[in-house]
Structure 1
């Protein structure tokens, strides 16, 4: 189309079939380069003429419409290409804008991170400065306090020194004044005595003569009175006889009363009192009967209890203990000789409890003494030991004498270094237990039976082992103390505790697995701890 309208930018293109015209001269139509040029000076009218001529020829041609249509289509194609390029350009511009926004966002994020880091660093630095400043203040305050304390101590020391100096000065002045006063008094007294020496000697002489005369007259009077009385008493034989008889009866009465009192005291102590070594007993004493009459009456009316009630043991040990309690009861009923027993095992396995239950089931009294109480008694240990066995022999129902921690004083005499008093007490114990008795049954308990003296083995008839509870025994103990310390207070107490809904049996089994190696006493303390925790939560609620 450019050739059609003559709009070539460079040299114009001639349509096909037309001759090419040479370009006009550069200087214009006139060829003169000196004239001024206007805007129409470079216009070439030959292009228009050629365009008009081409249009005429095109109109005359039979392919004019096809050429125009082709030109129009080429123009549309060109426009569409131009539009597509414009859209591509716009898309590229939008993409550049998006990239620019993303880059700006990234830069802004980096800037914010850097500002945050700088703020944190600044805050940390300020905090560090503040801590250093605070530490410096504390250090300065401490230095100031130490300086003030030092000044106060110096001031107190100075005041104390001044006070001491003042007191010493006052004491020195007082001593000087006292010495001067004493010296003046001595001089005055010496001067007075020198002046009155004759008078003083005369007074002393008169007093001595008067005292001698008084003593002589008193001696003469007393001799005369006693002499006349003695002559009168000797001359009257009835008075002499009555006096001798009275003195004899008085001596006999004093001696008899003293011995009778001692015998009665020993009898009361042996029959009614409790020896010093006995810590606990089921025998009634006069003092206990007077203090707790209702308790004494209830104990007299009580029936024999089961020896294994409340004692948790395995099946085999349960049967063995049952045979022992039946044997002991039959021995008492048939008035036979009691068998002595040694119980050994870890602490808290039920030795003391079983001994009490055994005595109650057999209808016997029990007495509990501790081996640790024997050694501190020293020389009195032998007497106290004899009193225990004398008291045990007076029991009508039979006495179960339980010695806890017996290895404390029944140690080996050959290898152990024991005192003479403890050795004498051990000998007294061996003497009193040399033969079996119908009055008392000896039960020894120990955690270390290997420390016993060899002579003790001859006194023991049966040895019973109290081992730690097994899994089944622990579960039974946990259930027993859970019922006693948790379930019963929760159902029957004044302030009933609230228990959560869970499987108690399963929980007790889990606790029993976790309490491996614990004794019965430790499991009971665990139950008490449950109760205390429950009561604390109830009070908090």
Structure 2
């Protein structure tokens, strides 16, 4: 391969004009003709030699390489290799050109991307400007609309004020007219009366003698008639008494008749009382009972349709509609099952005491327990017994006599029982309340298979110790927690809002929003509210829809009603705390006044109040 490299290095350039400089033509024409060989003339001048001077060693090397290549047996392969090298160079140059074109294309694409990005930014900026312009125009429109509303309201107020002034002026004119008419009428009436009195006085003066004579005649006749009547009655009674005292048989007959009359009156009075008590215990119901599911014969005659429905009722679940904590629901379900089996087996009922904050489901569970067990229920309140005085003992006996006559068994629910079942050692308890307490203890001293006693109270610490001895189970009801509040809110939202809206019978519609999320939100913000307050909240939602113009309940209306209910609840709690503080203060003052009346001071009272008041 050395010869090939030598050949390639010895190749002369294709353009020899850079190495050869043509001499200028001679001045005599014969100068060119005289030379016939390759060698230039030797006797040239210095300038001529410089003109023909070039490097011939490259040509010589190229010629030698060409001759050597021609003599070599690899001449064809060398030529092909040279062609391949040229082709490779062309391909490399083509690849470089393609790379250059690709880079140029990439640059054009990048430029287009940059132009598109700039255009997108420009469009975004234009859109932003349009939005800002639209918002500004909307704000101006809203402001103009608000100003129009304010102006319209002012105009309406001005029109209303003018109407009121006009009505007031008309009323004043009407009043003045009526007063003027009444004044004229009064004057005419006074003139008429005055004229009549004058005429009557004149007539009386003229007829005075005649009137006096008539009065004297009437008085004398009345006196004669009275005297004659007295004489007649006296003579009749005197003769009758004389005849009666003279005959002993008549005396005995009169005494026997009077005795029989007295005996008949006494017997009728006693039998009437017995019949009345029997009718009250069998046909009627005691006056203390505020609500009962027990139908008497009179109720059946008055309300036959309800009596038929009552016969068709089936026992329901004891906890249907009652939402409490899971542990509490488990306890109540056990009590319901035990009560139902007790009634089925005609066993002895157990008395229950339920205590806790108001509105936590005590009364509702008592009703559901009676319906689940197939019993009748009767609801009374202790506040009705306290003001009855001496009649309270009789009312209690009538109540328990009526309860004993129940064939299905009676659940007797006494709400606010602490009103008349307080401790007998209390100084504020009257003798009538003590008598009622003793009568109640007497009638509940033993277990009964006819009635079941259920007491409810918010202050269990006020009960007499003997009452606690009559109670078999004590259940404490708490305010609903977060999960229970959410279940209650869903229940009342469905009951008071969704069901009436789906029925379509009332003016109530519901807007489109997430009901489940709304109920969760309401349950979260209504902490401390009882079940009764949540049910009233459902009624408030219904009322808000009825109050609106189109009857549509929106999410904003629901939340506004909730916030108002929460504020009212806080106000009631504040009132209760203030009442408890005043009560504790009065108790402390009375105790201090009894123990140390001379040491009673305000700072001690305030300190005791802060210690006794609930957090």
TM-score > 0.5 by shorter chain: yes
Q: Are 1:324 and 2:324 counterparts?
A: no
- State the partner residue of 1:285: 296
Q: CA deviation at 1:222?
A: 6.5
- State the partner residue of 1:309: 320
Distance 2:542 2:238 in 1: 91
- State the partner residue of 2:514: 503
Q: Are 1:439 and 2:442 counterparts?
A: no
Distance change >3 Å, CA 222–CA 257, structure 1 → 2:
closer
Distance 2:390 2:525 in 1: 49
Aligned pair count?
373
Distance change >3 Å, CA 495–CA 408, structure 1 → 2:
closer
Distance 1:371 1:259 in 2: 31
CA contact (8 A) 1:413 1:423 kept: yes
- State the partner residue of 2:89: none
- State the partner residue of 1:266: 277
Q: CA deviation at 1:539?
A: 4.3
Per-residue displacement from partner, 1:211-262 (whole Å, max 9, x unpaired)?
999988986676667767987x87xx8x999988876665554443332222
Distance change >3 Å, CA 245–CA 516, structure 1 → 2:
same
Q: What are the within-5 Å matches in structure 2 for residues 197-212 of structure 1?
A: none
Q: What are the within-5 Å matches in structure 2 for residues 356-435 of structure 1?
A: 356-435=367-446
What TM-score, normalized by structure 2, do the two folds share?
0.51
Per-residue displacement from partner, 1:296-353 (whole Å, max 9, x unpaired)?
1110121111111111122222221111001001111111111000001111110000
Distance 2:228 2:305 in 1: 79
Per-residue displacement from partner, 1:73-116 (whole Å, max 9, x unpaired)?
xxxxxxxxxxxxxxxxxxxxxxxxxxxxxxxxxxxxxxxxxxxx
Q: What are the within-5 Å matches in structure 2 for residues 161-176 of structure 1?
A: none
More displaced 10-residue stretch of structure 1: 289-298 or 492-501: 492-501
Q: CA deviation at 1:493?
A: 2.1
Q: CA deviation at 1:385?
A: 0.9
Q: Are 1:522 and 2:533 counterparts?
A: yes
SS in 1 for 2:360: coil
Point out where structure 1 has 5 or more consecutive residues left out of the alignment: 1-203
SS in 1 for 2:453: strand
Distance 2:229 2:315 in 1: 87
Aligned residues: CA RMSD: 5.0
CA contact (8 A) 2:322 2:365 kept: yes
Per-residue displacement from partner, 1:173-202 (whole Å, max 9, x unpaired)?
xxxxxxxxxxxxxxxxxxxxxxxxxxxxxx
Q: What are the within-5 Å matches in structure 2 for residues 25-424 of structure 1?
A: 252-424=263-435
- State the partner residue of 1:117: none
CA contact (8 A) 1:412 1:454 kept: yes
Distance 2:514 2:333 in 1: 34
Larger Rg: 1
Distance 2:545 2:291 in 1: 33
SS in 2 for 1:309: coil
Q: What are the within-5 Å matches in structure 2 for residues 410-489 of structure 1?
A: 410-489=421-500
Q: CA deviation at 1:474?
A: 1.1
- State the partner residue of 1:535: 546
Distance 1:494 1:228 in 2: 87
Distance change >3 Å, CA 393–CA 211, structure 1 → 2:
closer
Distance 1:253 1:269 in 2: 24
Per-residue displacement from partner, 1:255-281 (whole Å, max 9, x unpaired)?
433322221111001112111211111
CA contact (8 A) 2:244 2:251 kept: no
CA contact (8 A) 2:508 2:551 kept: no
Distance change >3 Å, CA 534–CA 217, structure 1 → 2:
closer
SS in 1 for 2:291: strand
Per-residue displacement from partner, 1:426-461 (whole Å, max 9, x unpaired)?
111111111111111100001111111111110010
Point out where structure 2 has 5 or more consecutive residues left out of the alignment: 1-219, 553-615
Distance 1:369 1:335 in 2: 25
- State the partner residue of 1:158: none
Distance 2:229 2:367 in 1: 82
What TM-score, normalized by structure 1, do the two folds share?
0.57
CA contact (8 A) 2:282 2:402 kept: yes
CA contact (8 A) 1:497 1:538 kept: no
SS in 2 for 1:417: coil
- State the partner residue of 2:158: none
SS in 1 for 2:449: coil
CA contact (8 A) 2:356 2:476 kept: yes
- State the partner residue of 1:490: 501
Q: CA deviation at 1:286?
A: 3.6
SS in 2 for 1:374: helix
Q: CA deviation at 1:514?
A: 1.1
Distance change >3 Å, CA 246–CA 536, structure 1 → 2:
same
